[in-house]
Amino acid sequence: MARPRILVVGAGFAGVECVRRLERGLAPGEADIVLVTPFSYQLYLPLLPQVASGVLTPQSVAVSLRRSQRHRTRIVPGGAVGVDTQAKVCVVRKITDEIVNEPYDHLVVAAGSVTRTFDIPGLVENARGMKTLAEAAYVRDHVISQLDLADASHDEAERAARLQFVVVGGGYAGTETAACLQRLTTNALRRYPRLDPKLLKWHLIDIAPKLMPELGDKLGKTALEILRRRGIDVSLGVSVAKAAPDEVTFTDGRVLPCRTLIWTAGVTASPLVGTLDAETVRGRLAVTPEMAVPGKNGVFALGDAAAVPDLAKGDGAVCPPTAQHAMRQGRALADNLIASLRNRPLRPYVHRDLGLVVDLGGRDAVSRPLGIELKGMPAQAVARGYHWSSLRTNVAKTRVMTNWLLNAVAGDDFVRTGFQARKPATLRDFEYTDAYLTPDEVRAHTASAVTHG
């Protein structure tokens, strides 16, 4: 009798935690585990702003799957572009662009999310994202190149425009990105004696009335004060009305000459969700508290791709798309899969909030571990301690700690690698959001494979 096949799509926090738990909980030969991911690493997303600012190297936050897994899992190098839930087949586009079918008995949709955009003129063509490792490396090169170009320019207007930077999104990603990059550029100007430090300006804007409302009023206000004290212009209740290569127009009518627009205004579930032809909640797959997709036999979903009921809050609330939830859901779902294989009852996902941490670079941070509000160095110690302990391999932990110590002792460096130097990178260049199939295309592909198989 063939062994049950568990197919996990996505190597983010949810997918990796699920696979790790399955490898430890399943007996040898009890089931086959397959992981579909275009990259052989788990990206530690919360530390991307530190990659963009050069505090950490890209390799530090790319945790090797080959090191962290027990080698019982077969890794398929590609991205899932469609699911036929009737045939129980996942359609995968491999990194060679070859399209293959991966059958499953149990499917775990942990495909994560992509950058959420709006119908704003020029946004997709002129904004840069901060969702992938490649984007963080590109943003770093781009920001440093603006300093180099401003220093070489004899045009005062061009020089001023290149030293204006706009970050959209007052959540964790946007706030930490603006804080870390502002610190980098401020320190870098000491190496550019021809540039007037007064011309350097970072803008953080968000349509929401509060900065990081998840922190609560007190810590949110503290974070806002820290940013403004450091010279970051924070505008709330404001968004982008139009974006061009050399200027950004805000919804309050301001037109800002600048060459850098970083877009971090939220995420939306992976387009893979739309291929399952299943019910969604605000774009995320609707699931039961046990993380099963109703009406889709053997299909489970979690993390950013799923609207997992938040039983701790009740009243129809769903869990926010955070790493903390994704990791816990991954472990809980693995336990449910094992229970399902052994004909035991499944358990609903219930969580206990551990708190929040926000690293603003240098000695600045705000944290709320277990409800205790902290700021400054104590908050920084908690934030970095949490991130460090969450890294899954000793190699990754060693690299990150070494990078932190080196940056603390030697300071920042301002080297450009030349990554995509002559090709403007847009939001669509790194996330491949146009690679997915429609439900009809998925069914046609799986039917064709059956006919020719």
pLDDT tens digits along 110-161: 999 999 989 999 999 999 999 999 999 999 999 999 999 999 999 999 999 9
Residue 83's region, left for phi above 0, alpha for psi from -120 to 50, else beta, is: beta
Residue ranges of domains in the chain, CATH in brackets: 5-115+268-353+442-452 (3.50.50.60), 123-266+355-430 (3.50.50.100)
pLDDT score recorded for residue 452: 43
Task: Reply yes or no on whether the pLDDT at 424 is more than 70.
Answer: no
Query: 137-146: per-residue pLDDT in tens?
Result: 999 999 999 9
Task: Reply yes or no on whether the pLDDT at 449 is more than 70.
Answer: no
pLDDT score recorded for residue 261: 97
Query: 278-333: per-residue pLDDT in tens?
Result: 999 999 999 999 999 999 999 999 999 999 999 988 888 999 898 999 999 999 99
Q: Vertex 22, ends 96 and 75: CA angle to 5°?
A: 10
Question: What's the pLDDT band for 451 if we cut at 50, 70, 90?
Answer: very low
Q: Vertex 291, ends 22 and 93: CA angle to 5°?
A: 70
Instruction: Name, in order, each residue with C-beta under 8 angstroms of 309's C-beta and a sequence gap of 6 or more.
Output: 287, 288, 289, 316, 317, 318, 319, 348, 349
Average the pLDDT over 157-179 and give the result: 96
Task: Reply yes or no on whether the pLDDT at 453 is more than 50.
Answer: no
Task: Reply yes or no on whether the pLDDT at 450 is more than 60.
Answer: no
The tokens 């809050």 sit on which residue?
A: 313
Task: Reply yes or no on whether the pLDDT at 389 is more than 50.
Answer: yes
Amino acid letter for position 411 = G
CA torsion through residues 36, 41, 45, 46, sign: positive
Query: 85-97: per-residue pLDDT in tens?
Result: 999 999 999 999 9
Using alpha carbons, select from 334, 295, 326 the residue that is nearest to residue 308.
326
Query: 318-346: per-residue pLDDT in tens?
Result: 998 989 999 999 999 999 999 999 999 99
The pTM of the full predicted model, rounded to 2 decimals, is: 0.93
The two tokens of residue 24 are 């430890």
